[in-house]
Amino acid sequence: MAERDVILEVKNLKQYFRMNRHFTVKAVDDISFKVYRGETFGIVGESGSGKSTTGRSVIKLYEPTAGHVIFEGKEITGKIAEETRKMLRTRLQMIFQDPMASLNPRKTVMNIIAQGLDIHKLYKTQEERENRVYEMLETVGLSREHAHRYPHEFSGGQRQRIGIARALIMSPSFVIADEAISALDVSIQAQIVNILKKLQKDRDLTYIFIAHDLSMVRYISDRIAVMHQGKIVEMGSSDAIYKSPVHPYTKALLSAVPHPNPGVERYRKRIYYDPATVNYNEGRYHTIKGDHVVLATDGEYENWMK
Amino acid sequence: MNEKILEVKNLKVTFKTHNGTVEAIRGASFELYKGETLAIVGESGSGKSVTTKVLMGILAKNGIIESGTAIYKNKDLCKLSKKEFVDIRGKEIAMIFQDPMTSLNPTMTIGKQIREAVLEHHVISRKAAKMRAIELIDMVGITNPEERYKQYPHQLSGGMRQRVVIAIALACNPNILIADEPTTALDVTIQSQILELIKRLQDEIGLSIIFITHDLGVVANVADRVAVMYAGRIVEWGTSDDIFMSPAHPYTWGLLASVPDMANKEIELYSIPGSPPNLMYPPKGDAFALRSEYALKIDFEEAPPVFKISETHYAATWLLDERAPEVPRPLFLQKRIEAMKKEAAAYGRT
């Protein structure tokens, strides 16, 4: 594991939002993780846990309150050189949740997908621009005739493909997918996940996959971080998280997922979780096995491992 | 369990649009028994929401019920006038919607919104209505009902808001509750709380529930019976064991197979090829034939009739005709069903 190439490192990231004089929301509170090249790193948690904020801070949509984000060896927090910014805006891309809200309704698909190329002047002739868009459309399973239509003419699944095409035309090495499939039907979800997996293989992409659908996250991710109240409470390989969770929050979250199996559902017992019983602020990370870690105080850790 | 409370027969609904007529529902039949939960599953555009709108009498203006009946208490819901529907809607059949934020009025306290529903259908004093509203808030599991009565929707979390929506739906003691994707917008932990609440209320007041969802995990959790809808028709229905353990229609196979398999991460997810047909130009024959690798020649010519598999289990596919070749379920799906049976047996023991 140690020799694997780290593509993204997040160190002690804090993202606070000051609401007023008396009240500051600690959306992300001191989290650290590494993402290795070519893997899929899943982030799960309920709404308000800070998973989307983490994604947005990493890609510099927010300026972090404290901490460091190091992408491909370069620090990208704080003031950065124009050159680094350019590298960041091409090599790191994002796919958003709502495929309708994230596409400009007044632009054709051609102009939506080519916008990144336009900004960074990455083509020499109009023909080259068009050809790259056509090629990208075909890669994500659409056809070139679609380039001259507008977003409203497409179904949800097709729109999400346009979102993927727009992210991938910049030839990124790293893609953050923030709830990219949550708004889609089950059968369409499977299509999009297959496209994402295939592209990852073909182009050696690294993903951060943010979602609340735990079964899909398990399917697609190599490693998973479980977030709650701005903290990563448990992190490890997806098998470790699903088969031998340690943190009571992870257990509660997993026990809430309905199984598509009526025989199991009849007997499934939910585990309840009371955050008041666990002290997040005084906990430190305990290593359970390999890279499986859990946030706990020494006393809590002993209790959970019994 | 055997008393039919609602019977929908051969329902056909079309929508007139600028571009032509969309055949949204093309002959759907199903029945709802007293005290049961019937889950309707299907992709967007399969007609599940339109079906519920017919039952609530809230079909959009350009929607026309071409034919069919929906018998509830000897009345045909398809033929009721707007005025007659007032006595049914809310009072007899209530509905909860997907998005708890948009179904509540942001400028009214939640107490007032629940009280409004109570007053609309009962001749009681405002004070009594308030008491009833507080009782309802308590019933849906919100603590401090008197305090909550005075709060606005934005002061509540998503799960709480959905509880309020449920309280409004239950304000008039309906017999049938239609839940249109009530947990899709919620987190898994909140989702399981809401599902538990709905099941508890069903036991307490004997509701019959039509539950619309595309999440098969939720279906397995709540449903007594399942109807699978595709392109405006119900293609297969049966008890949830029938549908999950011995599915017969190729579309149901595809739907079950596209759920990620925990055990086999390396295998590519099965996805049903193509997309649902445009119902402005509904295909001849079986609407699923174009996407099905099991389609027979006759599937492209004639729509399949409904075949009876058992007392509870029916499916509309030519594969069940005695002249059709023997087509076994896809191997990996069969393997998964066996794994599911094992898993269920293991659970049953503990």
Q: Is B253 on the interface with A (CB under 8 A)?
A: no
Which band of pLDDT confidence, cut at 50, 70 and 90, is reported for residue B265?
low
Residues of A within 8 A of B260 (CB-CB) are 190, 193, 215-216, 218-219
Q: Is B344 on the interface with A (CB under 8 A)?
A: yes
On whether residue B23 sits in a domain, the answer given is yes
pLDDT score at B268: 72
Q: How far is CA B206 from CA B34, B40, B145, B190, B338, in A?
A: 8, 20, 24, 23, 34
With an 8 Å Cβ cutoff, are A270 and B192 in contact? yes
Query: Two tokens at B171?
Result: 């304000």
On whether both B231 and B322 belong to a single domain, the answer is yes
Closest CA to B251 of B220, B272, B266: B272
B237 within 8 A of B314, measured Cβ to Cβ:
yes
pLDDT digits (tens, 9 = 90+) for A39-88: 999 999 888 888 989 999 999 999 999 999 999 999 998 888 999 999 99
Residues of A within 8 A of B191 (CB-CB) are 256, 258
On whether residue B99 sits in a domain, the answer given is no
- Asked whether the predicted pLDDT for residue B79 surpasses 60, the reply is yes
On whether both B141 and B196 belong to a single domain, the answer is no
With an 8 Å Cβ cutoff, are A46 and B190 in contact? yes
Domains defined for chain A, CATH in brackets: 6-229 (3.40.50.300), 234-306 (no CATH)
pLDDT score at B145: 92
Which of A185, A238, A272 is best to mutate for the B interface (most B CBs within 10 A)? A185
> Using CB atoms, which residue from A190, A262, A263 is nearest to B269?
A190
Which band of pLDDT confidence, cut at 50, 70 and 90, is reported for residue B349?
low
Q: Is B254 on the interface with A (CB under 8 A)?
A: yes
- What's chain A look like in SS3? CCCCCEEEEEEEEEEEEEEECCEEEEEEEEEEEEEECCCEEEEECCCCCCHHHHHHHHCCCCCCCEEEEEECCEECCCCCCHHHHHHHHHHEEEECCCCCCCCCCCCCHHHHHHHHHHHHCCCCCHHHHHHHHHHHHHHCCCCHHHHHCCHHHCCHHHHHHHHHHHHHCCCCCEEEEECCCCCCCHHHHHHHHHHHHHHHHHHCCEEEEECCCHHHHHHHCCEEEEEECCEEEEEEEHHHHHHCCCCHHHHHHHHCCCCCCHHHHCCCCCCCCCHHHCCCCCCEEEEEECCEEEEECHHHHHHHHC
pLDDT score at B30: 94
pLDDT digits (tens, 9 = 90+) for B316-325: 999 998 888 8
pLDDT digits (tens, 9 = 90+) for A219-278: 899 999 999 999 999 999 999 999 899 999 999 999 888 888 888 888 888 888 888 888
On whether both B255 and B342 belong to a single domain, the answer is yes
Which band of pLDDT confidence, cut at 50, 70 and 90, is reported for residue B264?
low
On whether residue B160 sits in a domain, the answer given is yes
With an 8 Å Cβ cutoff, are B244 and A218 in contact? no
Q: Is B240 helix (H, G, I), strand (E, B) or coil?
A: helix
Domain boundary among B147, B173, B199: B173
Q: Is B22 helix (H, G, I), strand (E, B) or coil?
A: strand
Residues of B within 8 A of A214 (CB-CB) are 188
Q: Is B244 on the interface with A (CB under 8 A)?
A: yes
On whether residue B98 sits in a domain, the answer given is no
Residues of B within 8 A of A270 (CB-CB) are 192, 196
Q: Give the Cα separation of B20 and B15 in Å (integer).
A: 8
Closest CA to A103 of A174, A143, A95, A93: A95
With an 8 Å Cβ cutoff, are A260 and B189 in contact? no
> Using CB atoms, which residue from B188, B216, B350 is nearest to A212?
B188
With an 8 Å Cβ cutoff, are B244 and A260 in contact? yes
| Sign, Cα dihedral of A291, A176, A233, B263 | negative
Instruction: Pick left, alpha or beta for residue A65 (phi over 0 → left; psi -120 to 50 → alpha; otherwise beta).
Output: alpha
Instruction: For residues B36-45, give the mean pLDDT.
Output: 90
Q: Which residues contact A218 (CB under 8 A, 6 or more apart)?
A: A42, A224, A238, A241, A242, B260, B262, B265
Which band of pLDDT confidence, cut at 50, 70 and 90, is reported for residue B1?
low
Other Cβ atoms less than 10 A from the Cβ of A269: the count is 8
Other Cβ atoms less than 10 A from the Cβ of A265: the count is 22
- Asked whether the predicted pLDDT for residue A1 surpasses 50, the reply is no
Helix axes B158-170, B126-139, angle to 10 degrees: 130
Mean of the per-residue pLDDT values of chain B: 89
Closest CA to B249 of B229, B269, B278: B229
Q: Give the Cα separation of A120 and A85 in Å (integer).
A: 11
Q: Give the Cα separation of A298 and B104 in Å (integer).
A: 46
Which band of pLDDT confidence, cut at 50, 70 and 90, is reported for residue B330?
confident
Q: Is B252 on the interface with A (CB under 8 A)?
A: no
Under 8 Å CB pairs connecting chains A and B tally to 127
Task: Give the DSSP letter of residue B77.
Answer: T
Which band of pLDDT confidence, cut at 50, 70 and 90, is reported for residue B209?
very high
On whether both B195 and B326 belong to a single domain, the answer is yes
With an 8 Å Cβ cutoff, are A188 and B43 in contact? yes
On whether both B79 and B13 belong to a single domain, the answer is yes
DSSP H helices, B57-187, are 82-86, 110-121, 126-139, 145-149, 158-170
Domain boundary among B141, B173, B205: B173
Which of A47, A186, A229 is best to mutate for the B interface (most B CBs within 10 A)? A186
Q: Is B269 on the interface with A (CB under 8 A)?
A: yes
On whether both B112 and B42 belong to a single domain, the answer is no
Query: Two tokens at A83?
Result: 């050159």
pLDDT score at A115: 94
Instruction: For residues B242-271, give the mean pLDDT.
Output: 82
Instruction: Please report, as a single letter, which amino acid is at residue A46.
Output: E
pLDDT score at A188: 79
- Domain range for B129 is 104-173
B31 within 8 A of B42, measured Cβ to Cβ:
no
Residue A6, beta-bridge partner list: A36
With an 8 Å Cβ cutoff, are B255 and A197 in contact? no
Task: Looking at mean pLDDT, say which of B27-41, B175-189, B253-267 comes out highest.
Answer: B27-41
pLDDT digits (tens, 9 = 90+) for B118-141: 998 888 999 999 999 999 999 898
Residues 196-225 of chain B whose Cβ lies under 8 A from any Cβ of chain A: 196, 214-221, 223
Q: Which residues contact B257 (CB under 8 A, 6 or more apart)?
A: B270, B330, B332, B333, B336
Residues 42-61 of chain B whose Cβ lies under 8 A from any Cβ of chain A: 43-44
pLDDT digits (tens, 9 = 90+) for A150-175: 998 888 888 888 999 999 999 999 99
On whether residue B110 sits in a domain, the answer given is yes
Instruction: Pick left, alpha or beta for residue B264 (phi over 0 → left; psi -120 to 50 → alpha; otherwise beta).
Output: beta
Residues of A within 8 A of B269 (CB-CB) are 190, 193-194, 219
B8 within 8 A of B68, measured Cβ to Cβ:
yes
**Total structural domains in chain B?**
2
Q: Is B127 helix (H, G, I), strand (E, B) or coil?
A: helix
Residues of A within 8 A of B344 (CB-CB) are 261-264, 266
Interface of A with B (CB under 8 A): 46-47, 155-157, 185-191, 193-194, 197, 212, 214-216, 218-219, 242, 252-253, 256-268, 270, 273
The H or E element that residue B286 is part of is: none
Residues of A within 8 A of B223 (CB-CB) are 262
With an 8 Å Cβ cutoff, are B241 and A157 in contact? no
Q: How far is CA B44 from CA A188, B26, B273, in A?
A: 10, 15, 16
Instruction: Please report, as a single letter, which amino acid is at residue A102.
Output: S
- Asked whether the predicted pLDDT for residue B167 surpasses 90, the reply is yes
On whether both B213 and B126 belong to a single domain, the answer is no
On whether both B124 and B249 belong to a single domain, the answer is no
On whether both B126 and B231 belong to a single domain, the answer is no
Instruction: For residues B188-199, give the mean pLDDT.
Output: 88
Residues 68-127 of chain B whose Cβ lies under 8 A from any Cβ of chain A: none
Q: Is B334 helix (H, G, I), strand (E, B) or coil?
A: helix
On whether residue B118 sits in a domain, the answer given is yes
Which band of pLDDT confidence, cut at 50, 70 and 90, is reported for residue B343?
confident
> Using CB atoms, which residue from B192, B244, B255 is nearest to A261?
B244
Residue A9, beta-bridge partner list: A34, A70
On whether both B279 and B253 belong to a single domain, the answer is yes
Phi, psi of B314 (to 5 degrees): -130, 150
Q: Is B256 on the interface with A (CB under 8 A)?
A: yes
Domain boundary among B137, B157, B173: B173
Phi, psi of B294 (to 5 degrees): -100, 10
Q: Is B108 helix (H, G, I), strand (E, B) or coil?
A: coil
A226 within 8 A of A232, measured Cβ to Cβ:
yes
Closest CA to A175 of A203, A135, A151, A147: A203
pLDDT score at A141: 84
Q: Give the Cα separation of A285 and A294 in Å (integer).
A: 5
CATH number of domain containing B75: 3.40.50.300
On whether both B48 and B34 belong to a single domain, the answer is yes
Q: Is B270 on the interface with A (CB under 8 A)?
A: yes
Instruction: For residues B160-187, give the mean pLDDT.
Output: 90
On whether both B11 and B63 belong to a single domain, the answer is yes
pLDDT score at B227: 96
Question: What percentage of chain A exceeds 90 in pLDDT?
Answer: 55
